[in-house]
Amino acid sequence: MELEAHHLRVVRRGQTSLMSLDGMTSPPSVRKSALGTILTVSSAECGDIVLRGVGYVDARAFADEVSKAWIELNVSALDREADRFSRLHAAVASFSRPTRYPSACRIAPLLSDARALDVALLSKLQPEAIGPETTERVTLVRTFVADPRPARSNAIATFVTAELDRWKDFFDTIESKPLTHEQRLSVVVDEDATLVLAGAGSGKTSVITAKAAYLVKAGIRQPEQILLLAFAKNAAEEMSERVEARSGVPIVARTFHAIAYDIIGMVEGTKPALADHATDDVAFTNLIKKILKDFVLTRSEVSKAIIQWFAHFLVEPKTEWDFKTKHDFYTHMEQQDLRTLQGEKVKSYEELQIANWLYESGVGYEYEPVYEHEIHRTGRRDYCPDFRLTESGIYIEHFGVRRQKMPDGSERLITAPFVNREEYLSGMDWKREIHAAHETTLIETYSYERQEGRLLTSLAEKLAPHVIMNPRPADTIYDRVIELKQVDAFSQLLGTFLRKFKSGGYSIADCDAKSERMKLGNRAKAFLAVFAPVFQEYQMRLGGRIDFEDMILRAARYVETGRYVSPFRHILVDEFQDISQSRARLVKALKAQHPDVRVFAVGDDWQSIFRFAGSDIHLMRNFGDEFGGSFDGEAGVHRTVDLGRTFRSVDQIAFAARTFVLKNPAQIQKQIIPAGLATEPAIKVVMTSKGEEEKTLSEVLAAMSAKLDAAHNASVLLLGRYRFLEPDGRDLQRRFPRLRISFKTIHASKGLEADHVVLMNADSGRMGFPSEIVDDPLLTLVSPEEEAFQNAEERRVMYVAMTRARHTLTILASNSRPSSFVVELRKDPAYGIAAAPAAQQDTHECGECGGRVLDVRGQDGRVWYRCEHVEHCGNSLPACPTCCTALPRRADGSAEVRCSCGASYPPCPDCKDGWLVERTGPYGRFLGCVRYPTCAGKAQISPVIGRARRARSKR
């Protein structure tokens, strides 16, 4: 064994090897034994090297020389990295009293450097070689290297506690009222990406104001290093004024479009002209409408695709086979507004296909005409075939049956799950017999033909011998579509799709592939067949101008490629729930230019209601993945702060709104601390009869006005899902001078508040609330993922409406067709909803379809009860003959039908809802169902019933 500089040369059995001293784990050991002295050198690489039988004095002297060289080697290695090590040690030691927030982007480079030094040096240093004091310093750094996350977490907690105390006076005075703990926390937290969950009325503007002022006053950033972003021009101006007024710090807030336009101008030297429709949604929609009209007139192949869309794919192509109950099927049909090109409403999608094909083909028809021959004593309603062709007199019946293969190879006809097969097939036979008996021509079509993709071709073949087709020109059909006001909604859908398509950088191939994955079928294909040429034409008509999507994307590309160098180190974004894919791309590009850029986003995913303008709620729900930093192998590092407290709504409104919006499990959970306690029922549902909406609104406002004392007035905000619901505000203000009454659409009301809110027309229907035209599944083709929850965005719109109210919320809804939201609010006790006394009524289930049976007053003043699905079900019942108001019902297990007034009647043997009353026929008196002629149930009059009738007549 021989020492050579920083190595030991070891000769063993004629073999020579070198062992580096920096691999030694401890000084050499020397001990005496019976066979002489033993010298041992321990190495991490070579293990123990043992030399036996040497002289003790020589072994001791050699060991001392090796130890000295080993210590010098360790110390000199540390000396060479002294500055680097001292800097790392000081940084890690400062975790106990950090002066800046230990964000991932600040600590990650430190960790990377410390790990590199640990591998190269620190892990090789031996405590015995460097001494206890140096060992302690090295251990501190190595402990951080081994487990950095707890060290950073502890440093964050220490910093936040000290910083909140240090800036207490600032937080107490920056706004008119001291900031809450959550607001203060959101200001001092300074992670790579920080998301502040700001519920309705929680003071988000105060947070942004304080954050901007704090960054400058604390010396963290200069004003020009802060980018304050808002979505609307007026919001940006208000924010700029507020920041400077409250803090004295001159920071100019800008819209996304303003900063994008500035970036383009700096890179290109001039700013391109903006498209006329860029700032005008009405002009944008009108441009889409004009493109469609021009295509119909000039491009036959596109014209055909457009007409096909309106004729066969405007509504979702679902049939009764897609539903388990009649109620569900009828509800869906009502939502779809199945109106034909000729203008009438039909009862199924397959009937719509047939009617529109007939219209396209120029074949005149009547829908559900009364059969031309009178049919006597059938016990049925008047026979109304589905279609009658006006020129030829041919009838068409569409039968909802499909074919089912049996185990023996034969086939049988089956009906939808909720349809009685035997009764339906019997009805088919009866109709055939009627036509045969009266020698009228009947053409039959079947659901299985559509299932097999040949419904219309098969119909054409069957009609060919009887009629001459005279197809209508495309422009004639399109003019009809315009008359039916179907173009407006479709143009809005195309416009929303176009903006999201551009914003997300999608291609037609992307959409095609996604529609296949999602099994959206022919409707998606039909839509893309129209959208693709519309988009191409739209781009061409822009010419040298740009729209807002182009503006954002072009700016983002300049930032991504480094043609624009960003001065910004803190990006503060207001109303973050409204961010789109293109805006997010710009923010990410600005963040990526410098390693220390922070994103501070304030928003409320519960108020994300601008999907039609391109907002993408998934960006907020996946905030960390999209904007977060990385630390210790973990990606998406971010911090979320929940403001929690609302300064607006009382407890009943705040908690009901929270419960309502969180029915969608995809919404981010937030705690709510209400502004105060309600002293009276804060949420009321008032049901209105048809034609009495204005009267009911006046009664509600009168009740509000009557509660005010002479010295006070109150603000009332009338909300409607659509602009056309606006009442005569001047008349209302004149009649109720102590109420400050205003009207807004719910979307326009965002950010507003009032003492009392009245939500009008919370009814079901295509133009009801929830709106049944906004959440078209086709929009998922240009969204990162589908919102699976039904009416997801409309539920958030309802949340916005509810949370405009400080003290009371009154919801006006149709007695005969209340919206699903109203039904939910009234049904679930968790909401604590108070119904107005006049609106209290029992809810009865329709025995025919499972819907609700509602009371209505006939023209003669009599009360009737009919199914809510009046166009489909037709179940109608008179009020109790005894009290003339209530509805007799059959209790479970009871042999009679009883009314709440005490009267009882024999149940109908043929239907669930009916009961028997005395009638007179050709053969004398009998008992017949009150639902006649819909139901032909009857029975003989028993002696007991006869005696009871005679006793009543004597009284």
The enclosing domain of 195 has a CATH number of 3.40.50.300
d(CA 749, CA 745) in angstroms, rounded, equals 6
Angle between helices 581-592 and 486-503 (to 10 degrees): 20
**205 belongs to an annotated ligand binding site:** yes
Helix (H, G, I), strand (E, B) or coil at 880: coil
**Does residue 358 lie within any of the structural domains?**
no
**Does residue 656 lie within any of the structural domains?**
no
**200 belongs to an annotated ligand binding site:** yes
**201 belongs to an annotated ligand binding site:** yes
d(CA 489, CA 314) in angstroms, rounded, equals 10
Least confident interval from 297-306, 373-382, 634-643: 373-382
pLDDT at 141 over 50: yes
CATH number assigned to the domain comprising residue 30: 2.30.29.210
- Token pair, residue 695, equals 């009267």
d(CA 266, CA 268) in angstroms, rounded, equals 6
Rounded to the nearest angstrom, the gap between the alpha carbon of residue 879 and the centroid of all alpha carbons in its chain is 43
**Does residue 647 lie within any of the structural domains?**
no
| Sign of CA pseudo-dihedral 509, 515, 517, 522 | negative
Angle between helices 132-146 and 82-93 (to 10 degrees): 60
In the chain, the amino acid numbered 853 is V
d(CA 261, CA 264) in angstroms, rounded, equals 5
Residue 417: cis peptide before it, omega within 30 degrees of 0: no
Which residue, 316, 331, 336, 340, is CA-closest to 766?
A: 336
**742 belongs to an annotated ligand binding site:** no
Are 678 and 801 contained in the same domain?
Answer: yes
Q: What pLDDT does residue 161 have?
A: 97
Q: What pLDDT does residue 914 have?
A: 93
299 φ/ψ angles, rounded to the nearest 5 degrees: -125, 105
d(CA 833, CA 830) in angstroms, rounded, equals 8
Domain end residue (candidates: 603, 626, 642): 642
Are 302 and 376 contained in the same domain?
Answer: no
Q: What pLDDT does residue 825 have?
A: 92
Average pLDDT taken over every residue of the chain: 90
Specify which residues 715 forms β-bridges with.
Answer: 740
Are 724 and 802 contained in the same domain?
Answer: yes
Rounded to the nearest angstrom, the gap between the alpha carbon of residue 165 and the centroid of all alpha carbons in its chain is 39
Are 726 and 756 contained in the same domain?
Answer: yes
Are 742 and 790 contained in the same domain?
Answer: yes
pLDDT digits (tens, 9 = 90+) for 863-901: 889 888 887 888 999 999 999 989 999 877 778 899 989
The DSSP result for 252-301, as a single string, is -EEEHHHHHHHHHHHHHSSPPPBPGGGG-HHHHHHHHHHHHHHHHHH-HH
**Does residue 256 lie within any of the structural domains?**
yes
Mean pLDDT of 624-630: 96
Q: What pLDDT does residue 75 have?
A: 86
Helix (H, G, I), strand (E, B) or coil at 649: coil
Are 723 and 817 contained in the same domain?
Answer: yes
Burial of 67 (0-12, 13-18, 19+ CB in 10 A): middle
**Does residue 672 lie within any of the structural domains?**
yes
d(CA 259, CA 254) in angstroms, rounded, equals 6
- Token pair, residue 318, equals 């679902």
- Number of Cβ within 10 Å of residue 245's Cβ equals 9
- Token pair, residue 760, equals 């009008």
d(CA 559, CA 593) in angstroms, rounded, equals 8
Are 786 and 685 contained in the same domain?
Answer: yes
Report the range out of 8-17, 27-36, 359-368, 869-878 with the highest average pLDDT. 359-368
Are 683 and 794 contained in the same domain?
Answer: yes
Q: What pLDDT does residue 10 have?
A: 87
Helix (H, G, I), strand (E, B) or coil at 912: coil
Are 684 and 817 contained in the same domain?
Answer: yes
Q: What pLDDT does residue 790 have?
A: 84
- Per-residue confidence at 278, pLDDT binned at 50, 70, 90? confident
Mean pLDDT of 285-302: 93
**203 belongs to an annotated ligand binding site:** yes
For 845-881, give one letter per residue: b (16+ CB within 10 A) or e. ebbbbbbbbbbeeeeeeebbbbbbbbebbebbbbbbe
Beta pairing class for 253-255 and 226-230: parallel
- Number of Cβ within 10 Å of residue 934's Cβ equals 19
Burial of 400 (0-12, 13-18, 19+ CB in 10 A): buried
Q: What pLDDT does residue 835 have?
A: 58
Mean pLDDT of 459-486: 93
pLDDT digits (tens, 9 = 90+) for 38-92: 989 888 777 888 888 888 999 999 998 898 888 888 888 889 889 999 999 999 9
Contact residues for 405 (Cβ-Cβ < 8 A; gap 6+): 411
Q: Yes or no: say if 803 and 200 are a contact pair by the CB < 8 Å rule.
A: yes
In the chain, the amino acid numbered 888 is P
- Token pair, residue 853, equals 């049976």
Q: What pLDDT does residue 954 have?
A: 43
d(CA 701, CA 687) in angstroms, rounded, equals 15
**199 belongs to an annotated ligand binding site:** yes
**CA dist list (Å): 99 to 104, 161, 638, 641:** 15, 12, 20, 21
Q: What pLDDT does residue 375 have?
A: 84
Structural domain including 863 reads 844-954
**Which stretch of DSSP H or E encloses residue 640?**
strand 639-642
Say what percent of the chain tops pLDDT 70: 96
Mean pLDDT of 254-263: 95
d(CA 766, CA 338) in angstroms, rounded, equals 10
Q: Yes or no: say if 202 and 646 are a contact pair by the CB < 8 Å rule.
A: yes
**Which stretch of DSSP H or E encloses residue 927?**
strand 924-929
Q: What is the 3-state secondary structure (H, E, C) of 318-343?
A: CCHHHCCCHHHHHHHHHHHCCECCCC
Are 149 and 213 contained in the same domain?
Answer: no
Burial of 715 (0-12, 13-18, 19+ CB in 10 A): middle
Q: What is the number of alpha carbons within 13 Å of residue 402 lying toward its C-beta? A: 17
Helix (H, G, I), strand (E, B) or coil at 634: strand
pLDDT top residue among 772 and 198: 198
Are 627 and 731 contained in the same domain?
Answer: no
- Token pair, residue 259, equals 């900063």
pLDDT digits (tens, 9 = 90+) for 718-743: 999 999 999 998 999 999 999 999 99
In the chain, the amino acid numbered 134 is T
Alpha helices in 82-231 (DSSP H): 82-93, 104-120, 127-130, 132-146, 148-166, 168-173, 181-188, 204-217
Report the range out of 34-43, 166-175, 313-322, 838-847 with the highest average pLDDT. 166-175
Contact residues for 76 (Cβ-Cβ < 8 A; gap 6+): none
Q: How many domains does the chain have?
A: 7
Rounded to the nearest angstrom, the gap between the alpha carbon of residue 818 and the centroid of all alpha carbons in its chain is 23
Say what percent of the chain tops pLDDT 90: 60
Are 407 and 421 contained in the same domain?
Answer: yes
d(CA 646, CA 515) in angstroms, rounded, equals 42
**Does residue 327 lie within any of the structural domains?**
no
**Does residue 834 lie within any of the structural domains?**
yes
Domain end residue (candidates: 796, 824, 839): 839
Q: Yes or no: say if 648 and 803 are a contact pair by the CB < 8 Å rule.
A: yes
**204 belongs to an annotated ligand binding site:** yes
Domain end residue (candidates: 839, 873, 897): 839
- Per-residue confidence at 365, pLDDT binned at 50, 70, 90? very high
Q: How far apart are the first and last CA of the chain?
A: 132
Q: What pLDDT does residue 380 have?
A: 59
**Which stretch of DSSP H or E encloses residue 704?**
helix 693-706
**Does residue 105 lie within any of the structural domains?**
yes
- Per-residue confidence at 950, pLDDT binned at 50, 70, 90? very low
The DSSP result for 501-545, as a single string, is HHHTT--HHHHHHHHHHTT-HHHHHHHHHHHHHHHHHHHHHHTT-
Rounded to the nearest angstrom, the gap between the alpha carbon of residue 89 and the centroid of all alpha carbons in its chain is 48
d(CA 529, CA 524) in angstroms, rounded, equals 8
In the chain, the amino acid numbered 736 is F
Rounded to the nearest angstrom, the gap between the alpha carbon of residue 518 and the centroid of all alpha carbons in its chain is 18
